Amino acid sequence: MSETAMDRIAKATPPRVARRIKGFSDRTIAWIFVAPTIFLLLAVNIFPLIWTIRLSFTNYRANRPNAELDWVGLRNYQRILNDGDIWQTMQATAHFLFWTLFFQVLIGFALAWLINRKFKGNDLWTTIIVLPMMLSPAVVGNFWTLLYQPQIGLFNNIVAYFTGADPTSFSMIGDVALAPWAIVIVDTWMWTPFVMLICLAGLRSIPDSIYEAAECDRASKWRQFWTITVPMVLPFLMLAVLFRGIENFKMFDLVVQLTGGGPGNTTTLTSIELKREAFEKWRTGYSSAYGIILFVTVFGLASIYVKALNKVKER
Amino acid sequence: MKTIHLLAAASIAVASGLGATRAHADELTLCWAAWDPANALIELSKDFEQKSGHKMSFEFVPWPNFADRMLNELNSGGQLCDLMIGDSQWIGLGAEAGHYVKLNDFFAAEGISMDDFIPATVTGYAEWPKGTPNYWALPAFGDVVGWTYRKDWFERPELRAEFKEKYGRELEAPNTLAELKDIAEFFQGREIDGKTVYGAAIYTERGSEGITMGVTNALYNFGFEYDDPENPYHLDGFVNSPEAVAGLEFYKQLYDCCTPPGSSDWYMSENIDAYKSGQVALQMNFAFIWPGVNADPNVGGERSGYFPNPAGPGGHFAQLGGQGISVVSYSDSKDAALEYIKWFAQPEIQSRWWDLGGYSALRAVVEDPGFATSQPYAQTFLDSMAIVKDFWAEPAYASLLLSMQERVHNYVIAGQGTAQEALDALVADWVEVFEDEGKL
């Protein structure tokens, strides 16, 4: 009879350890192995979450830990939901989220489709395209602040070259109408390669035999694209949207470097506002409530999205 | 043999001397902002190291992150800093939250008198509550918002003639805010030496404290008050008075008419860069930059002049900057830190501080007959320090500051709403803060 993996583990177990666990049921041993992970999960995730929920009903300020703690009920939630500025930051976040995802999916898929075709220098182009996403967001933020500079910035001068407009006549990060687009452009520049890579993985996972069968059926390229390529890449694309959506919902560093949330509140995203409330104003109770609202929003939206993603996969 | 004895004796003496130094030597960390005066302080502190045997190390953080980083350090009870040169507005929090050591007994024991310092710096940097003899810091670095201008451009005959024809007066450093705006308008978009230049670099930064430190120079001089002088924390009608609204409108007009393109998020360093690169005729900035401007190969010496924030229809004030030096209560080396403050307060050290580029707040230094002529900007510094006014120094100053940043930036830079709406909203924000603080 051949030796099983369990037998090998049993043999390899030092006698001292074997003596100690002798008599333990498999279930107990399983619990012993899982316990540290559960403990860490409770300590690092669950306890802070419960603690945050508790703090959200108080006026606690972390910079004054000895001050009297008042139970304020739902006041923090009421204030947040009735605050026009908070809704403005939500709007700014929604604008940023929608347009970055839109452009990244569109351009990312197009790039993946082009890169997937065999041509000379394919690998070199892939490397070049992927470069922006390897940079630090702080570096990208500073770099683009210079590119957007009206007097010497490359971006303004390129736009001026093509449109004939005076490069100093517009400021991408100083104008209320342009600033939201300025951050969309930079995020798209930086993260489109990520979407492209995921789409490329999807495209390369489609077996050639399917296209060959379609060719035999005399399906046009257009028909092949819509009935083979798009449906088979869709789960990958949806996964990319999920990753980028979650990342961009909590976008902070890039936008702070670029605009500081301005002009005014135009590019103040929820994460920037939350950080100001929590670690600059030190309204810990209030920001806890804000955090809970954001958590519920993201969790709810992500759950719906994951269900949709699973349905697409099952098709 | 005699030589051996001598060597042995010398070795013992040296060893015992070193041992004695080590027994009392501490390693002190001084926390401050990363800027030119900080480098001067490193140089100055070598004397302290030599005399005391303590070793100094420094933690300097760039201005945009200074408050964030250091207040986090204090709020978490961190032991990174033994000495903190904290911003003037932190004094309320430092005192009430127990971050700073109260220095009254120490000052009394060491014969350090606050009467020896410029009164505005004592009120601004050391006292909490304001106006009471409770001291939490020693005035360390006097600073105030003032203006730098291109004297060489102002002296050009063709520009002077054109200005006189247009405005009916000489092209000189302005005495009023209205005159300042005229000058900025005059230079805006002008070609000088084949290059397009602009009127003024002013504070517009959104993220930390920039636009507040700028706009207050207009607000104060139009009649803005933080609260009712007779009824503390009563804000309505003072923060949003018609005079304050006019002041805010003035600042927006100045931004709209006379600043370089793309200057929507500028603070100290951006203004310095714009001025030194010859982009602007006027620059709003704290006085700390003046030694650097004076020494600059492109705009220094006779090419630049300095003037205090000009008066407005409602008064003549300038935004106070600067800091006091405090002992952090969480430090394990409080005695050594106090030793540093004692050393720093000495008149000869303060005098050297000024020579190195630090703005001493000691009256013996600034009232010295030779002080006003010691540097081209010294008289402007004295004139400016005589008209200072500061932002709230309440424990909740950060909340008050961030609300003002938001409301003012929304109006001045983003052009959203009216000045009246911005200041009304500011009153509502501040009332909420003071209600939360239990002061209303």
Q: Mind giving me the DSSP string for B62-103?
A: -HHHHHHHHHHHHHTT--S-SEEEEEGGGHHHHHHTT-B---
Higher pLDDT, B40 or A65: B40
**Cβ B163 vs Cβ B199: under 8 Å:** no
Test B398 with A256 for CB contact under 8 angstroms.
no
Higher pLDDT, B6 or A230: A230
Mean pLDDT of chain B: 92
Using 50, 70 and 90 to split pLDDT, how confident is the model at B12? very low
Predicted pLDDT at A118: 78
Query: Going by C-beta distance under 8 Å and a sequence separation of 6 or more, which residues neighbour residue A53?
Result: A288, A292
- Mutation pick from B206, B401, B416, B439 vs chain A, by most beta carbons of A within 10 Å, is B206
Predicted confidence (pLDDT) at residue B2 exceeds the cutoff of 80 = no
Test B262 with A64 for CB contact under 8 angstroms.
no
In terms of CATH architecture, what is A76-314? Orthogonal Bundle (1.10)
Using 50, 70 and 90 to split pLDDT, how confident is the model at A151? confident
Identify the CA nearest to B250 among candidates B311, B327, B162, B319: B311
Test B97 with A63 for CB contact under 8 angstroms.
yes
CA B209 to chain A, closest CA, distance in angstroms equals 12
User: Which of chain B's residues have a Cβ under 8 Å away from the Cβ of A168?
Assistant: 196, 261-262
Predicted pLDDT at A2: 64
CA B13 to chain A, closest CA, distance in angstroms equals 50
Test B398 with A264 for CB contact under 8 angstroms.
no
- CA of A153: which chain B residue's CA is closest? B262
How, if at all, do strands B195-201 and B138-141 pair? unpaired
Test B399 with A263 for CB contact under 8 angstroms.
no
Burial of A171 (0-12, 13-18, 19+ CB in 10 A): buried
Using 50, 70 and 90 to split pLDDT, how confident is the model at B356? very high
At position B380, the amino acid (one-letter code) is: T
Query: Going by C-beta distance under 8 Å and a sequence separation of 6 or more, which residues neighbour residue B97?
Result: A63, A64, B74, B75, B395
Test A151 with B262 for CB contact under 8 angstroms.
yes
Q: Is B285 helix (H, G, I), strand (E, B) or coil?
A: strand
Select from B97, B265, B398 the Cβ nearest to the Cβ of A262. B265
In this prediction the pTM is 0.84
Burial of A27 (0-12, 13-18, 19+ CB in 10 A): exposed
- CA of B403: which chain A residue's CA is closest? A281
CA B190 to chain A, closest CA, distance in angstroms equals 14
Identify the CA nearest to B381 among candidates B282, B306, B299, B323: B306
CA B345 to chain A, closest CA, distance in angstroms equals 31
Predicted confidence (pLDDT) at residue B13 exceeds the cutoff of 50 = no
Predicted confidence (pLDDT) at residue A311 exceeds the cutoff of 50 = yes
The secondary structure of residue B116, as a DSSP letter, is G
Test B261 with A151 for CB contact under 8 angstroms.
yes
Residue B63 CB coordination number (10 Å): 18
Could you give phi then psi for residue B141, rounded to 5 degrees?
-145, 105
Pick the CATH number of B27-143+321-389 from 1.20.120.450, 3.40.190.10, 3.30.43.10, 3.40.718.10: 3.40.190.10
- CA of B197: which chain A residue's CA is closest? A151
Half-sphere exposure of A139 (CA within 13 A, CB side): 7
Give the Cα separation of B302 and A179 in Å (integer): 40
Test A264 with B414 for CB contact under 8 angstroms.
yes
Instruction: Over range B56-74, report the average pLDDT.
Output: 91
Select from B67, B72, B205 the Cβ nearest to the Cβ of A260. B205
Predicted pLDDT at B19: 41
In terms of CATH architecture, what is B145-319+396-436? 3-Layer(aba) Sandwich (3.40)
Higher pLDDT, A315 or A144: A144
Test B264 with A171 for CB contact under 8 angstroms.
yes
At position B46, the amino acid (one-letter code) is: K
Select from B261, B398, B436 the Cβ nearest to the Cβ of A59. B436
Test A281 with B261 for CB contact under 8 angstroms.
no
Identify the CA nearest to B304 among candidates B155, B117, B419, B422: B155
Test B207 with A256 for CB contact under 8 angstroms.
yes
- CA of A167: which chain B residue's CA is closest? B261
How, if at all, do strands B304-308 and B280-286 pair? unpaired
Select from B395, B396, B402 the Cβ nearest to the Cβ of A276. B402
Between the alpha carbon of residue B394 and those of residues B89, B97, B99, B231, B271, the distances in Å are: 7, 11, 14, 16, 29
Comma-separated ranges of CATH 3.40.190.10 domains in chain B: 27-143+321-389, 145-319+396-436
Mean pLDDT of chain A: 91
Test B265 with A174 for CB contact under 8 angstroms.
yes
Identify the CA nearest to B61 among candidates B34, B89, B88: B34
Q: Is B272 helix (H, G, I), strand (E, B) or coil?
A: helix
Give the Cα separation of B390 and B216 in Å (integer): 9
Identify residues of B whose CB sits under 8 angstroms from chain A CBs.
Answer: 67-68, 71-72, 75, 93, 97, 196, 205-207, 260-265, 279, 395-396, 398-399, 402, 406, 409-411, 413-416, 436
pLDDT digits (tens, 9 = 90+) for B43-55: 999 999 999 999 9
Predicted confidence (pLDDT) at residue B9 exceeds the cutoff of 70 = no
Instruction: Over range B343-352, report the average pLDDT.
Output: 96
Using 50, 70 and 90 to split pLDDT, how confident is the model at A7? confident
Instruction: Over range B32-49, report the average pLDDT.
Output: 94
Size of the A and B interface in Cβ pairs below 8 Å? 89
Select from B207, B263, B410 the Cβ nearest to the Cβ of A260. B207
Using 50, 70 and 90 to split pLDDT, how confident is the model at B18? very low
Tokens read off for B312: 């407005």
CA B7 to chain A, closest CA, distance in angstroms equals 58
Select from A168, A260, A280 the Cβ nearest to the Cβ of B261. A168
Predicted confidence (pLDDT) at residue A1 exceeds the cutoff of 90 = no
Query: Going by C-beta distance under 8 Å and a sequence separation of 6 or more, which residues neighbour residue B313?
Result: B221, B222, B223, B243, B246
Instruction: Over range B214-219, report the average pLDDT.
Output: 98
Between the alpha carbon of residue B419 and those of residues B241, B316, B333, B414, B432, the distances in Å are: 11, 21, 49, 12, 20
Instruction: Over range B105-124, report the average pLDDT.
Output: 95
The secondary structure of residue B2, as a DSSP letter, is H
Q: What is the ipTM of this complex?
A: 0.78
Q: Strands (DSSP E) along B172-287, which ranges? A: 190-192, 195-201, 280-286
Half-sphere exposure of A163 (CA within 13 A, CB side): 11
At position B435, the amino acid (one-letter code) is: E
> Tokens 């003496």 identify what position?
B13
Predicted confidence (pLDDT) at residue B24 exceeds the cutoff of 80 = no
Predicted pLDDT at A24: 82
**Cβ A307 vs Cβ A291: under 8 Å:** no
Burial of A268 (0-12, 13-18, 19+ CB in 10 A): buried
Annotated domain spans of chain A = 16-55, 76-314
> Tokens 């316990």 identify what position?
A35
User: Which of chain A's residues have a Cβ under 8 Å away from the Cβ of B93?
Assistant: 63
Give the Cα separation of B414 and B218 in Å (integer): 18
Test A259 with B206 for CB contact under 8 angstroms.
yes
Predicted confidence (pLDDT) at residue A269 exceeds the cutoff of 50 = yes
- Mutation pick from B73, B248, B265 vs chain A, by most beta carbons of A within 10 Å, is B265
Test B71 with A176 for CB contact under 8 angstroms.
no
User: Which of chain A's residues have a Cβ under 8 Å away from the Cβ of B408?
Assistant: none
**Cβ B116 vs Cβ B135: under 8 Å:** no
Test B265 with A259 for CB contact under 8 angstroms.
yes
Render the burial of B344-379: b for 16+ CB within 10 Å, e for the rest. Answer: bbeeebbbbbbebbbbbbbbebbeeeebeeebbbbb
> Tokens 């002088």 identify what position?
B229
Instruction: Over range B208-215, report the average pLDDT.
Output: 95
